[in-house]
């Protein structure tokens, strides 16, 4: 069958077949509009992706020579994160209920070495330990593609919510230890120091910059735990902090929707840790 399209006449598109009658469509205005809309949507998606990737590249603190880690950062920036949940159950069983595409990128990372941190206590030195580990891997052992992943659950998971959730649901009470806000997502003055100044005691590589966004810029991936979210939502309801009268599944959804940027939502940290270990990640425990 031959279909010679008449491209000179957008109002008439003729298709002819050998031995068959000619078929003429006299008005394809709606078709043209549909194609235009599809093209605009595709262009908008491409522009949004380019913007995310450009922002990630601008904020990056990846070490020189980290080709595999840089590629992973681009893939993670492009991977979708669903943050429009209306209701989330206790047990999730559908990949659409977590960031399955981003999680798959982490699991399939071909660079290395790969270290998996089991982080459960918001008041433990978990961020300091990961920073020290990263410093040693990159600068001492010369592994620029070293990937550190935080399997975050327990009270440490509270650090993965934005300040709006801390304010709305009085999360400082859950965190304890005198915390009044989520200071772990605030980049300190040290974060703006010269990244070339390796020995600055108040710089990026020092204890003055134990901040989640700074570690993310250095390539650390923070994995959120659905189970921790559900359990924390349950504790919030038991404490009577429910200004919008949400159900447990609705509150779980709201907390999920307010994870900080860059976080990868998993169906559960403990189960995901096993998957990551089978993918070649080495286990480390903070507390």
What pLDDT does 193 receive? 96
What pLDDT does 60 receive? 83
What pLDDT does 287 receive? 83
What pLDDT does 189 receive? 96
Per-residue tokens: 191: 């974060």
Task: Band the pLDDT of 127: cuts 50, 70, 90.
Answer: very high
Q: Are 117 and 223 in contact (CB under 8 A)?
A: no
Q: What percent of the chain shows pLDDT beyond 90?
A: 78
The strand pairing partners of 145, in sequence order, are none
Global confidence as pTM = 0.80
pLDDT for 159-188, tens place per residue? 999 999 999 999 999 999 999 999 999 999
pLDDT for 19-70, tens place per residue? 444 444 445 555 555 555 555 544 544 444 444 444 444 478 999 999 999 9
Task: Band the pLDDT of 257: cuts 50, 70, 90.
Answer: very high
Domains of the chain: 1-59 (no CATH), 67-285 (3.40.1260.10)
As a whole number, the mean pLDDT across the chain is 87
Task: Band the pLDDT of 110: cuts 50, 70, 90.
Answer: very high
């Amino acid at each position: 069958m031959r279909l010679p399209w008449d491209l000179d006449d957008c109002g008439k598109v003729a298709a002819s077949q050998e031995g068959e009658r000619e078929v003429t469509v006299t008005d394809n205005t709606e078709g043209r509009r549909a194609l235009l809309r599809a093209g605009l949507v595709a262009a908008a998606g491409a522009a949004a992706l380019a913007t995310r990737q450009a922002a990630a590249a601008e904020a990056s603190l990846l070490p020189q020579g980290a080709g595999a880690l840089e590629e992973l950062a681009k893939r993670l920036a492009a991977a979708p994160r669903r943050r429009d949940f209306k209701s989330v159950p206790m047990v999730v069983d559908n990949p659409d209920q977590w960031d399955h595409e981003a999680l798959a990128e982490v699991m399939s990372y071909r660079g290395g070495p790969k270290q998996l941190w089991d982080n459960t206590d918001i008041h433990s030195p978990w961020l300091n330990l990961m920073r020290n580990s990263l410093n040693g891997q990159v600068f001492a052992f010369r592994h620029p593609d070293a990937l550190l992943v935080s399997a975050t659950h327990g009270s440490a998971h509270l650090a993965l919510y934005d300040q709006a959730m801390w304010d709305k649901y009085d999360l400082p009470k859950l965190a304890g230890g005198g915390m009044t806000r989520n200071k772990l997502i605030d980049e300190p003055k040290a974060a703006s120091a010269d990244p070339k100044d390796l020995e600055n005691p108040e710089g990026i590589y020092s204890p003055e910059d134990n901040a989640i966004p700074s570690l993310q810029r250095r390539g650390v991936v923070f994995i959120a735990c659905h189970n921790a979210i559900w359990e924390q939502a349950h504790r919030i309801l038991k404490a009577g902090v429910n200004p919008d009268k949400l159900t447990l599944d609705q509150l779980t959804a709201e907390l999920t929707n307010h994870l900080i940027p860059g976080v990868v939502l998993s169906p559960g940290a403990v189960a995901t840790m096993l998957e990551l270990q089978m993918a070649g990640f080495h286990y480390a425990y903070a507390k």
